[in-house]
Chain A
Amino acid sequence: MTRELTGVIALTAGYTTVGAAVLYGIGLLRTVRQSLRLIGLAIIVGWVLTGIGLSLALAIGLSVSVVTTGALWGVIAVLAFLGGRVLPPFPLPAARSEQTLVGRSIALVGAGLLAVDLTALAWRSANPSGQLHADVWNFWLPKAKTIYFFDGLDTGVGGFTSQTSPDYPPLVPALEALTFTFAGGADVLALPLAHWAVAVAFFGALAGLLRERVRPAILWPALAMLAFMPMLARLIGSSLADEPLALLYALAGVCSALWLLDRDWRMAALGSVFLVAATLTKNEGLMLSLALALVVALVARRRPVVDRTTRAGSRRRARPRAPRSVGARAGDARPRVPRLCGRVLDQLCRAALLRRQQRRARRRPDRPLPRCTLSASLRGGPRAIARSPLRTA
């Protein structure tokens, strides 16, 4: 086994460990079965958090070394462990299964095709032809080499900032530099194998996240179709920043969609991490991330939460939906205040109530206001106003 291969395996094992720790920390991963199901997601989460962490480490003047990376992984794992002691487990429902022979056959063919494609890509990654996109050897790899050779973001002659597009964020070069570090040298032919491992993890992550939602007869052929998409197949192992950007954006979209369906904050957190990483891949990632965040926010305001108890095979109970706006529900006597702006609205309502009481007192000076009404409304805000006799006056 060559040093490059050993290094890539060790690196992927590190991603897996730290990613699994984080998934444990947020409650997604508590059993062996869940570990097997979410191992792809664990690798991706570990890879992403390593990239984000190394980008920040570079920004404060640290280098991409085994020590830095080990310390980063240690900090993440400890925080995740502490989180896991506090946070409740995520009720991961059972994966959907096919009832008919036809459905099972279609799923099997899809999974088989996906396996064939990933095996072929493994073969290509283990024997790279060395053909690189001009952008890769013009600035992505030189930047990675400067981080590797000059111990961080070197601003001197020929350093990181001397390369083309120095304003691009450092996540992709940092991760390539980390692969160089683990592979024991800046050999660009070692990179495709590391990229292949991440690509396999990507498909595993998609399968792990969607298996409870999507029928196998749809999921596996869809994943196979995705794998055989010519552009994606060419991107895998290319070392272009579009490769991680595409993977991260897709995963952010899936996590956002799952959050829209369930409103469990953990999916929103994962989606946000993927969007942050997408932003750090290249400048275009910022615009794409903002667009996705905006769309998700708009949809979240309009779309009701699906009651999952109505779906067959689900073991979760839907949580009551957060009220949308003041007095939004027809026939509801009590005005409702969204949590985020509740205090502001409370204060506004209190001020309005005071003005109203002053006006009333001026009109009917002979009839004093009941003390309990005033004090209760001042204490309780809109809810108290809703209950008070003033509301019907």
Chain B
Amino acid sequence: MEVKRNLSTFMGKRKNWSIPYILFLAFFVVTPLFLIFYYAFTNSTGGFTFDNFRRFWQQPEAMHTFVFSVGVALITTAVCLLLGYPAAYILSRMSSKTAKIMVLLFILPMWINFLIRTLATVALFDFLGIPLGQASLYFGMVYNFLPFMVYPIYNILQKTDQNLIEAAQDLGANPRQVFFRTILPLSVPGVKSGIMMVFMPVISTFAIAELLTINNIKLFGTTLQENIYNGMWNYGAALSLVMLLLIGLTLLFNGDGNAKAAEEGGLI
């Protein structure tokens, strides 16, 4: 009886309802991340060491792959932004009913398994007689991640206060000025979360590059996966930590956009 009453007063405090999830997060999110640190700074017998990082630094191949991957991610993000911003802008000007359907059409392809889509892209390139290589790699990347850029920008443009735009027009701004001095600055948070949502997955992807270049071009994600798969957990963990560092820098650069990106991460 006593136990039961204790339990019911315990459950009666609703803040206690968070306890199962806090324990869950501690075990399945915090501990695993801690393990990456642990493995990165130890050798296979468990002794503390910096060797894993030294090896990354001294191995031109891994280093080269890393730099190349950052480049691919930057270019993909830039292309997505250049293609996606105008699209988001046009969508935000449409009547809300048409825009809804259009946005749906942009998101819909993501419902097909991305590996199948990627293989279909390969077939498309074969069909057009374009050899697989850098071109197909960038096409595949942009193709896969463009919707992630369009959606957050569209979202913020569509919520932009029309009065501000009209005020700018009334005060004598020409269309160009309205865009660059009113609309664009107001949409920066959307652009930031779009950049995050493209850059971060591109930097870490591995299967897309593998399939689109018949394994000719290796990205950092592939290096990570191969090392873990070949049992080099410590070295793999160190490489993961390098990637985490990069992600941390991106988050820092993004500042307030992070929470937004997290909220919009659920667009699929």
Say whether A and B bind each other: no
Q: Which residues of B contact A (CB under 8 A)?
A: none
